[in-house]
Chain A
Amino acid sequence: MENNIRIEAREFNAYYDKKCALKDINFKIFSNKITAIIGPSGCGKSTFLRSLNRMNDLIENFNVKGELLIDNENIYDKDVDVIFLRKRVGMVFQKPNPFPKSIFGNIAYGLRIHKMFKNYDDLYMKVENSLKEAALWDEVKDDLNKSAFDLSGGQQQRLCIARAIVINPEIILMDEPTSSLDPTSTAKIEELIRKLKEHYTIVIVTHNMQQAARVSDYSAFFMQGELIEYDETTKIFTAPSNKLTEEYITGRFG
């Protein structure tokens, strides 16, 4: 199958005040693939991820240079509707962050604010489908009105994934989605990520090297704000081309 480019960075630079956090990034991310971004702390991987739905706009003095295209449109163009962009580019965070609402209310929230349902039956069906897609439905179908906080950490994270996908995003960004979860919950989330790529393009930042090796199709290694190496994950983890990549993934530094 031919790879379609979904996201493309062209000479993309990002600055916090005058400090350069991303330097001349040229990077193509493919549709319906899982792309892992790895690298030591402070390498720019989270900055890059957060640039993809303009989460960094909320930070004072954050600015960019160059282009960041999604489906060939620069998301930093002046006329871009950021709310709409974030609907297209969903995000799942390190720590599960359910809203202080019921399980149902969490999922329905996005549908309500975007007015994405016809009637209650339609709303219920969409909630049900997204919980099924996030492999959580069987565990919560009888407790939809319970508080989301009553769920376990792993269930809360799957709830957050369900909440992200219910509004039909095209891209899902994941920022260390399993770092606060136990191995069983981690395995479930990873299985879910693999299934989700059928419908979504997934970009995941992870500190867990084995996780990147297990779930991703492509891996990108960032260091000091630069994209050092980007290739198929198998290549990166068996025979990386760059010495720095090799030193990082074999734990020789970092």
Chain B
Amino acid sequence: MERKLDEELQNLKKMMFEMISLANDLIEKSVNALIHKNEKLAEEVEKKDEEMDNYENEIDEFCLELLARYQPAAIDLRFITSIMKINNDVERIGDLATTIAHKAKIIIKEAPFDIPVNILQINKNIHQMLKDVTVSLTEISAEKAMEICRTDKSIDEMYVETFREIIDLVIKNKMTVKAGIELVLTIKYLERIADHITNIAEDIVYMAKGESIKHKKG
């Protein structure tokens, strides 16, 4: 039986995809601003943060409306409540991207240095994770979402490695202390973005299976 709620849930999903796509765009631009020393790009990201906030509010309101009007159960209920959580994580991702853009503007002004290769790799992995999130959300696939959680571990390892690399560059005077500190913070933010994406993946697992995998080791 075709339900009005199905149509509403499709609209909700569409809004969520648009928001994730915007978050993806903000990360890409903020990292590019840093790599290509492009201040204009950084400013563009800062301006778009408001758009993210608007999405967050709209999605929140829409979810509340659906809960009130349809009193959903089972998969419908899990879908809506999970979207509310995902919404929150995506908004945080947007905030972090904006902060990275802000840091980029500071770093650009410092003496030039070679960007550690790992940052590029972390950036690449994050984009892949976001792409996978979109796929697993489209299919509501727990298996694909679990895969994303595993990717997060490799990013954590790269973060530690890059951190050491930056310290080393600073010690060897190949990077200013200020640039080093800001760059360490930047990779920390990237690593946190990956954590938020992992949260989203965990929410998708719950959405699909009705079982929480949060705070479970293994």
Contact = CB atoms under 8 A, between A and B. Distances in A.
Interface of A: 209-210, 213, 237-240, 245-246, 249-253
Nearest to B6: A252
A237 B75 CA distance: 9
A203 to B, nearest CB: 21
Contact of B74 (A210, A237, A253): A237
Nearest to A249: B73
Contacts of A237: 73-74, 77
B73 A250 contact: yes
Given A250-B76, A251-B3, A239 B71 contact: no
Contact of B72 (A239, A240, A250, A253): A250
Determine which residue in A213, A246, A252, A253 has the highest number of CB atoms from chain B within 10 A of its CB, and name it.
A252
A209 B73 CA distance: 9
Contact of A238 (B1, B3, B71, B210): B210
Contacts, number: 35
Given A238-B210, A239-B209, A239-B210, A253 B75 contact: no
Nearest to A252: B1
Contacts of B3: 250-252
A253 B2 CA distance: 9
Interface in B6-43: none
A250 B1 contact: no
B114 to A, nearest CB: 51
Interface string B58-84: 000000000000011111111000000
A22 to B, nearest CB: 25
A173 B93 CA distance: 53
A190 to B, nearest CB: 15
Nearest to B206: A239
A250 B1 CA distance: 11
Closest 7 A/B residue pairs (Cβ) = A239-B210, A249-B73, A246-B74, A237-B73, A250-B76, A250-B74, A240-B74
